[in-house]
Amino acid sequence: MAQSLATNENYHACTKHIDIQYHFIWGAIENGVLKMVHCPSDIMAADMLTKAVPHWKMKVHTNILGLQV
């Protein structure tokens, strides 16, 4: 959803609360200051801080973040 809002000019009524931030980010992407890329969940180390992840994934992400178990 975030990528489609940032790269698509369509403006939806349900996103009124992000009006200023949306236009700022959309302009930054259009001017080449920012680039939106998809980051798969397998390489998102912060996933272990925001949701339940399997034990093997927890080990991988703690190593990526430089944490010791």
- Per residue in 13-63, pLDDT (tens digit) is 556 566 666 678 888 888 999 898 888 877 888 888 888 888 988 888 888
Torsion of CA 29, 32, 37, 43, to 10 degrees: -120
Q: Identify whether residues 20 and 46 lie together within a single domain.
A: no
Q: Identify whether residues 5 and 33 lie together within a single domain.
A: yes
Domain that holds residue 27: 1-38
Q: Identify whether residues 48 and 62 lie together within a single domain.
A: yes
* Measured distance CA(12)–CA(18) in Å, rounded: 11
Shortest CA distance to 4 belongs to which of 28, 46, 32, 36?
A: 36
pTM above threshold 0.85:
no
Angle (CA) 18-25-33 rounded to 5° is: 170
Counted domains in the chain: 2
Q: Identify whether residues 53 and 64 lie together within a single domain.
A: yes
Q: Identify whether residues 32 and 57 lie together within a single domain.
A: no
* Measured distance CA(59)–CA(69) in Å, rounded: 8
